[in-house]
Amino acid sequence: MLNVSKNTIYNMIKKGELKSYNVGRKVRFTESYVKAFMNQSQAGSDGQKSALPDGVQTNNGFVICGQDIILDVLSNRMRSYGIPAMRAFIGSYDGLMLLYKNKVNVASSHLWDSETDEYNIPYIKRLLPGTPALVIHLTYRMQGLYVRKGNPKNIKGWEDFRRDDITMINREYGAGSRVLLDENLKLLDILGSSIKGYATEGQTHLAVASSVSGGEADAAVGIEKIARQVDNIDFIPLKKERYDLVVKKEHIDSHEIRTMMNIINSAAFKQEFANIGGYDTSGIGKIIAEI
């Protein structure tokens, strides 16, 4: 990802420039660590402060929370308009809490509520109490299970997590994919603690898909688009999810939010994602709820 030598990576770790963790004698990285370093490097060249997952503030820039590539393109386009847009690679649940606390400017969300069979709005109401907010639609994505190529364990859906021959890899607490899993496990009366690998976490869709591809796990929850990018896995579609942006209503007329909305609704931005597999952006840019 960084296009540098192994020795350079070791030097970056020693200097504290790149976060890592150890598993035995091996050095590991999450995708969010690498992206945080890339953001910090870019911010340094622009004279800006990077938005990092463990200390997000809005004082020094415009911070967008979330992990989808759509947000990467959006923040890049905002910077081209002179707005110091930064990215915080944080899951939906924590992103909404940070929006409530004024630590970020925009939160993305794909949280499914099993009681209402609705995405995002029930969580926004709970996590932003007494805070008028607008929900802006970005895309629909297909959520499902990553399994090894050929599906050797014959996994078909959520019910298979009852089996004692299935090992999974999970997403971090607060990620939309983990919420989707936990809500379905609750409906089926399956305890997460009874599933092999439930406590093992990957920080991104790519990380968990790669674990399945490499044989470290039999299954993981994630989006269809990533399944097309990782070798040796198949995808079992289970739930069409809605991926939205959330902003505080009091900020809708700010220059930053207006610029963001103009970019999202532009023909060029829509066209960029029109033909990417795994996305349905037909309703992109619509304000679908005022809360």
Tens-digit pLDDT profile for residues 32-66? 677 767 665 554 444 343 444 454 555 557 999 99
Q: Which CATH number covers residue 201?
A: 3.40.190.10
The position carrying tokens 């990285």 is 29
d(CA 123, CA 92): 10
- Same domain? For 162 and 208 the reply is yes
Q: Are residues 99 and 195 in the same domain?
A: no
Domain annotation covers residue 207: yes
**Residue 150 has what pLDDT?**
97
Helices (H), the chain: 6-14, 31-46, 69-80, 92-100, 121-127, 176-187, 205-213, 224-227, 255-264, 267-274
Q: Is 102 inside a domain boundary? A: yes
- Structural contact between residues 280 and 139, judged by C-beta atoms closer than 8 angstroms: yes
With cut-offs at 50, 70 and 90, classify the pLDDT of residue 29. Answer: confident
Length of the chain: 291
Count structural domains, the chain: 2
Alpha-carbon separation of residue 121 from 107, 133, 136, 288 (angstroms): 13, 10, 11, 10
Q: E strands within 39-198? A: 62-65, 85-88, 106-109, 112-113, 118-119, 133-148, 170-171
Residue 101 within any structural domain of the chain: yes
| Phi, psi (deg, nearest 5) at residue 54 | -95, 10
Burial (0-12, 13-18, 19+ Cβ within 10 Å), 18? buried
pLDDT band at 28 (very low <50, low <70, confident <90, very high): confident
Kindly state whether residue 99 falls inside one of the protein's structural domains.
yes
**Paired tokens of 199:** 């406590």
Res. 106 pLDDT band, cuts 50 70 90 = very high
What pLDDT, on a 0 to 100 scale, did the predictor assign at position 60? 59
* Same domain? 90 vs 12: yes
Does residue 1 lie within any of the structural domains? no
If asked whether residues 165 and 108 sit together in one domain, one would say: no
Q: Does residue 16 surpass a pLDDT of 90?
A: no
Residue ranges making up the domain that contains 181:
143-240
Whether residue 13 is found in the same domain as residue 127 = yes
Residues 91 and 66 grouped into a single domain: yes
Q: Are residues 52 and 135 in the same domain?
A: yes
For residues 51 and 87, the answer to whether their CB atoms sit within 8 Å is yes
> Rounded to an integer, what distance in angstroms lies between the CA atom of residue 42 and that of residue 104?
19
Question: Are 150 and 226 in the same domain?
Answer: yes
Count of other CB atoms within 10 angstroms of residue 54 = 8
Closest CA to 290 of 255, 246, 258, 257: 246
Written as one letter, the residue type at 172 is E
What's the pLDDT at 2? Answer: 74
Distance CA 255, CA 248 (A): 14
Q: What is the pLDDT of residues 217-272, one digit of tens each?
A: 999 999 998 998 899 999 999 999 999 999 999 999 999 999 999 999 999 998 88
* For residues 6-17, average pLDDT: 72
Shared domain check, 248 and 222: no
Q: Can you give the pLDDT at residue 44?
A: 44
The pTM (predicted TM-score) of the whole model is 0.80
Report, as an integer, the average pLDDT of 4-31: 74
Q: Does 232 map to a domain? A: yes
Q: pLDDT at position 50, please?
A: 41
Indicate if 80 and 176 belong to the same structural domain: no
Residues 158 and 234 in one domain: yes
Specify if 78 maps to a domain.
yes
How far is C-alpha 194 from the geometric centre of its chain's CA atoms? 26
Quote the pLDDT of residue 45: 41
Identify residue 13 by its one-letter amino acid code.
I
Shared domain check, 65 and 164: no
Q: What is the mean pLDDT of the chain?
A: 88
The residue behind tokens 């190529």 is 149
Look at residue 30 and tell me if it is in a domain. yes
Query: Among 77-81, 88-92, 117-121, which range has the highest average pLDDT?
Result: 117-121
